[in-house]
């Protein structure tokens, strides 16, 4: 894990969801505020600088943050091109560039809400980039970490 500013820390895989192409990596505290995941029907923002957004419109502006080819903290922008179900998983399609190194990075809307997680691209085409939608991310986290 590399914190913005350069501090580094080793992590370990806590949970994996191959169908959604998601993983949770655990790290000791990096001295940053944690993201508290709220249910999709709630817009409450607690102990967080960002929140998961659940409403998307085709044409809405988004940005993708990642580390493509080792170029740390790169940002690309685009729009939501479509919302689609692929192999039973809800994805957003965007023309914002997603390259190797962006996978796992957040896709944010103009309100700073996490609307997805960058996961894959169609290499044989231009601007066919995809991210798992935030509802799927919340589903994964709830399945793995819900307290009974």
- Average pLDDT value over all residues in the chain: 80
Under the phi-then-psi rule, with left for phi > 0, alpha for psi from -120 to 50, and beta for the rest, what region is 119? alpha
pLDDT higher than 50, residue 39: no
pLDDT higher than 50, residue 41: no
> What would the pLDDT profile of 45-78 be if each residue is shown by its tens digit?
333 344 555 578 899 999 999 888 888 888 999 9
pLDDT higher than 60, residue 148: no
Please write down the HEC assignment for all residues of the chain.
CECCCCCECCCEEEEEECCCCEEEEECCCCCCCCCCCCCCCCCCCCCCCCEECCCCCCCCEEEEEECHHHCCCEEEEEEEEEEEEECCEEEEEECCCCCCCCCCCEEEECCCEEEEEEEEECCCCCCCEEEEEHHHHHHHHHHHHCCC
> What would the pLDDT profile of 106-147 be if each residue is shown by its tens digit?
999 888 888 999 999 888 877 799 999 988 988 898 888 876
Mean pLDDT of 88-116: 89
Q: pTM value?
A: 0.78
Distances in Å between the Cα of 23 and the Cα atoms of 15, 16, 17, 76, 103 are: 6, 4, 6, 22, 11
Query: What are the backbone angles phi and psi of residue 144, rounded to the nearest 5°?
Result: -85, -30
Looking at per-residue confidence, does 116 or 40 come out higher? 116
pLDDT higher than 80, residue 84: yes
């Amino acid at each position: 894990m590399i914190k913005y500013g350069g501090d580094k820390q080793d992590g370990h895989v806590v949970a994996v969801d191959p169908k959604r192409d998601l993983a949770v990596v655990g790290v000791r505290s990096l001295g940053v505020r944690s993201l508290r995941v709220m249910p999709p029907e709630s817009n409450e923002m607690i102990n967080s600088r960002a929140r998961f957004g659940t409403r998307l419109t085709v044409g809405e502006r988004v940005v993708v943050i990642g580390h493509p080819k080792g170029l740390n903290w790169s940002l690309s922008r685009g729009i939501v091109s479509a919302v689609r179900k692929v192999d039973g998983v809800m994805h957003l399609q965007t023309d914002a560039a997603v390259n190797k190194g962006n996978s796992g990075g957040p896709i944010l809307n103009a309100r700073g809400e996490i609307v997805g997680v960058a996961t894959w691209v169609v290499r044989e085409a231009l601007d066919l980039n995809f991210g798992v939608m935030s509802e799927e991310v919340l589903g994964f986290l709830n399945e793995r970490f819900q307290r009974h």
